[in-house]
Amino acid sequence: MTRVALIAHDDEKPTMIDLVEEYEAVLSQFDLVATGTTGQRIRTETGLDVERKESGPVGGDTQIGAEVVDGEVDGVVFLQDPMTAQPHEPDIGALVRICDVHDVPLATCRSAGEYVIEGLARDAEEN
C-alpha cells in the first residue's frame, strides 16, 4: 500500500487540513503517517486513520526520515512556513536531503502536495 507522510508547521496546519479534506477519497486509500499534532488534527477533523509519530519539535520528522531511509514512505508532504517558522518547529533541511538521496518526492507547499498525492494515486492505479 502507498504510504504518505504528512507534516505541517503550525501556521500551515489549516492548509494541510484543507488539502487532506480535498483529497480525502484518495488519501483514504493510502497508509498515512504524520507528526504528532498534524496527525491528531487530521484524525480529529477528517476521521482518516493516521499513524502518529512524535511531534516535530521532539523528533517526529526524524522518525519519518528514518522510514524514508528504510524504503517505507513513498512520498512526503511537508507544508512549511518559509516566512515565520518558529524555532520549535521541525527543520525541513534534513528531510529534504534524505528524500533526495532516496528519490522520494517531497512537497513543501500545497500545490506541490497536490501533485505528489495525484502522482502517487496514479502510480498506485498502474501497479
C-alpha grid cell for residue 40?
491528531
- Cell numbers for 97: 536531503
**pLDDT score at 84:** 73
Catalytic residues: 61
The domains found in the chain, sorted by start residue, are: 3-126 (3.40.50.1380)
For residue 82, what pLDDT band results from cuts at 50, 70 and 90?
confident
pLDDT for 23-32, tens place per residue? 999 999 999 9
Residue 45 to residue 66: CA distance in whole angstroms: 27
Across 61-68, average pLDDT? 96
Binding-site residue set for substrate: 9, 13, 35-38, 55-56, 88
- What φ, ψ does residue 91 adopt, rounded to 5°? -90, 130
